[in-house]
């Protein structure tokens, strides 16, 4: 099979693995599945979980879309009259308990074709990142340790490189703070002198396979901690910053909107309950202030 066929098959299986595990951990809610088609070509399988014991809202979606590259994207890539194929898995989970962090992950593959259908460009992208509302340093260390382990067998410099890119990418420039405590972010992984596309496929799929090991132990450790309305209010205020990033900066959101993607699938990343309070400042020395200090000054976790 081709790279794109192999990767699409992989994300189909990974979606099944992740949603099955999340349902088992939640113990109540089940994923609702929607199959959809894109008029210009392709479609996807959206799975959304809501109102569970643990997960207030979340989605684990796959898609494979193709066709003529829209004019806006031709301008973005600096090409003319190109066709494309793109497939990927994207997930976001918003837990109910403020002590359980939100998590995001995405693994994707893209091809671009000339007028006769020959591949003129291809690459992998993706990553996974953690957004806590209260900082447990051992949780951040665990998440990053799993990410580093997934990277190390493919490149000794990969973790440091893609951790830095994650810190840079998930940065709310208008707030001058990070969205969360980071993880991995990589894009435009193309064939080069050191790695061909099969090697990049191996790397990206290993990162994808590491996701549950990185996240689920944190969920299990924190899911039964008692919390107050004050904790919940802070969670919803921080969720507002999450929404701001996704709507202002996120490339995946913008790509979906520019290629006539399915709106419900694109915006499933938004949490159900959010607050925007005018000039809200946490009390000096509080746990909330401790989180903000790390978000304004990203640190090394391994």
Phi-psi region of 182 (alpha: psi -120 to 50; beta: other; left: phi over 0): left
Which string of b and e fits 31-40 if b means at least 16 CB within 10 Å?
beeeeeebee
Average pLDDT over residues 288-302: 96
Please check the confidence at residue 255 and state whether its pLDDT lies above 80: no
According to the model, what pLDDT value does residue 253 have?
A: 85
Active site residue 144: no
Query: Kindly report the CA angle at 114 between 110 and 119, in degrees rounded to 5?
Result: 45
DSSP output for 164-215 = HHHHHHSEETTTTEESSSEEEEEEEE---SS--HHHHHHHHHHHHHHHHHHH
According to the model, what pLDDT value does residue 129 have?
A: 98
Catalytic residue among 66, 94, 104, 249: 104
Q: Where are the domains of the chain?
A: 3-296
Instruction: Give the SS3 label for residue 248.
Output: helix
> Which superfamily, per CATH, for 3-296?
Coproporphyrinogen III oxidase, aerobic (3.40.1500.10)
How confident is the prediction for the chain on average, in pLDDT? 94
According to the model, what pLDDT value does residue 73 have?
A: 77
pLDDT 10s digits, 109-128:
999 998 888 999 999 999 99
Q: Give the model's confidence band at 209: pLDDT under 50 very low, under 70 low, under 90 confident, else very high.
A: very high
According to the model, what pLDDT value does residue 127 have?
A: 97
pTM for this model (two decimals): 0.94
pLDDT 10s digits, 127-172:
999 999 999 999 999 999 999 999 999 999 999 999 999 999 999 9
Please check the confidence at residue 260 and state whether its pLDDT lies above 80: no
According to the model, what pLDDT value does residue 159 have?
A: 98
Instruction: Give the SS3 label for residue 206.
Output: helix
């Amino acid at each position: 099979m081709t790279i794109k066929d192999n990767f699409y098959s992989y994300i189909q299986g990974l979606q099944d693995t992740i949603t099955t595990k999340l349902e088992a951990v939640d113990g109540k809610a089940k994923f609702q599945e929607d199959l959809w088609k894109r008029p210009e070509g392709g479609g996807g399988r959206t799975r959304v979980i809501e109102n569970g014991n643990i997960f207030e809202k979340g989605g684990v979606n796959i898609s494979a879309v193709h066709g003529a590259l829209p004019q806006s994207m031709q301008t973005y890539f600096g090409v003319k009259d190109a066709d494309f194929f793109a497939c990927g898995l994207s997930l976001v989970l918003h837990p109910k308990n403020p002590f359980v962090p939100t998590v995001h992950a995405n693994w994707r593959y893209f091809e671009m074709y000339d007028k006769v259908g020959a591949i003129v460009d291809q690459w992998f992208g993706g990553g996974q990142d953690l957004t806590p509302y209260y900082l447990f340093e051992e949780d951040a260390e665990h998440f990053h340790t799993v990410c580093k382990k997934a990277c190390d067998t493919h490149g000794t410099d990969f973790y440091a490189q893609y951790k830095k890119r994650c810190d840079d990418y998930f940065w709310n420039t208008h707030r001058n703070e990070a969205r969360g405590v980071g993880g991995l972010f990589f894009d435009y992984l193309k064939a080069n002198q050191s790695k061909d596309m099969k090697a990049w496929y191996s790397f990206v799929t290993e990162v994808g396979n590491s996701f549950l090991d990185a996240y689920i132990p944190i969920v299990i450790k924190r899911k039964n901690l008692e919390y107050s309305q004050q904790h919940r209010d802070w969670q919803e205020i921080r969720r507002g910053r999450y929404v701001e990033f996704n709507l202002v900066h996120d490339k995946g959101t913008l790509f979906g909107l520019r290629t006539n993607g399915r709106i419900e699938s694109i915006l499933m990343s938004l949490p159900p309950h959010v607050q925007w309070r005018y000039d809200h400042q946490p009390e000096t020395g509080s746990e909330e202030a401790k989180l903000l200090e790390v978000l304004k000054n990203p640190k090394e976790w391994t």
